[in-house]
């Protein structure tokens, strides 16, 4: 349903947050927010390891109290080996729509020293907006370093966090 109709019908705002980490490894593509980012290493995982989309999916599932990405797409299942994480986001956003709700806005933060995210932020926002069915001006992608501290600071991995606001019909 569209946001204006949901607001007029007294929908319940539901917030969700997500966090994920993946290890940087040789010989992997770096997928972030559904696009390939040129870099000398990529993220390792059972799927394509798109840490930003995984954090976003968890935020959406969390807002609906629908568990987490591992409940919907268990890492133990061979089906998800090297899977395109776009599929996971389509599923999470589809569940919101199925329940008669809508995503009001998305805010993603990627935590790494390198690569620089800002040059890719518009392409990432555009991709996430398309996958989640949310207008571009309601999708934010930003980045921060951890001032060279910790695993992200040493370039061992990339972390991402996400927040979403859903507007959902009251269940009862």
Ligand X SMILES: Nc1ccn([C@@H]2O[C@H](COP(=O)(O)O)[C@@H](O)[C@H]2O)c(=O)n1
Ligand Y SMILES: C[C@@]1(CO)OP(=O)(O)OP(=O)(O)OC[C@H]1O
Residue whose token pair is 């934010």 = 140
Nearer to ligand Y, 13 or 75 (CB): 75
Q: Is 24 in the site for ligand X (CB under 6 A)?
A: no
Window 111-130: residues binding ligand Y (CB under 6 A): none
Window 65-124: residues binding ligand X (CB under 6 A): 112, 116-118
**What is the spatial distance between Cα 119 and Cα 121, in angstroms, rounded to a whole number?**
6
Q: Tell me the binding residues for a divalent metal cation.
A: 20, 22, 54
Q: Tell me the binding residues.
A: 20-22, 46-47, 54, 68-70, 144-147, 151, 154
Among 144, 149, 154, 155, binds ligand X (CB under 6 A): 144
Residue 112 binding result from ligand X, ligand Y, none, given CB thresholds of 5 to 8 Å by partner type:
ligand X
Among 73, 102, 103, 108, binds ligand Y (CB under 6 A): 73
Q: Is 5 in the site for ligand X (CB under 6 A)?
A: no
Residue 92, helix vs strand vs coil: helix
Nearer to ligand X, 69 or 111 (CB): 111
Size of the site for ligand X (CB under 6 A): 7
Least distance (Å) between residue 45 CB and ligand Y: 3
**What is the spatial distance between Cα 15 and Cα 167, in angstroms, rounded to a whole number?**
9
CB contact set of 160 (below 8 Å; sequence gap of 6+): 19, 20, 21, 32, 51, 52, 54, 55, 108, 109, 110, 111
Is the torsion defined by CA of 6, 105, 53, 135 positive or negative?
A: positive
Q: Give the CA distances from residue 140 to residues 32, 34, 49, 104, in Å, rounded to whole numbers and listed in that order.
A: 14, 14, 20, 12
Q: Are 44 and 28 in contact (CB under 8 A)?
A: yes
Least distance (Å) between residue 46 CB and ligand Y: 3
Element (H, E) at 110: strand 102-111
Residue 45 binding result from ligand X, ligand Y, none, given CB thresholds of 5 to 8 Å by partner type:
ligand Y
Residues forming the site for ligand Y (CB under 6 A): 20, 45-47, 49, 54, 69-70, 73, 75, 80, 88
């Amino acid at each position: 349903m569209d946001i204006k109709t949901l607001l007029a019908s007294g929908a319940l705002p539901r917030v969700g947050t997500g966090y994920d980490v993946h290890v940087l490894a040789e010989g992997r593509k770096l997928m972030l927010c559904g696009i390939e980012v040129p870099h000398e290493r990529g993220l390792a995982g059972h799927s394509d390891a798109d840490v930003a989309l995984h954090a976003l999916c968890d935020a959406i599932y969390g807002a609906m109290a629908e568990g987490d990405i591992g409940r919907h797409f268990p890492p133990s299942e061979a089906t998800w080996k090297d899977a395109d994480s776009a599929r996971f986001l389509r599923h999470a956003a589809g569940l919101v729509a199925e329940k008669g709700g809508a995503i009001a806005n998305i805010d993603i933060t990627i935590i790494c020293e390198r690569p620089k995210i800002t040059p890719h932020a518009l392409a990432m926002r555009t991709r996430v907006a398309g996958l989640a069915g949310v207008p571009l001006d309601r999708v934010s992608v930003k980045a921060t370093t951890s001032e060279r501290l910790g695993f992200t600071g040493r370039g061992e991995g990339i972390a991402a966090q996400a927040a979403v606001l859903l507007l959902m019909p009251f269940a009862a």
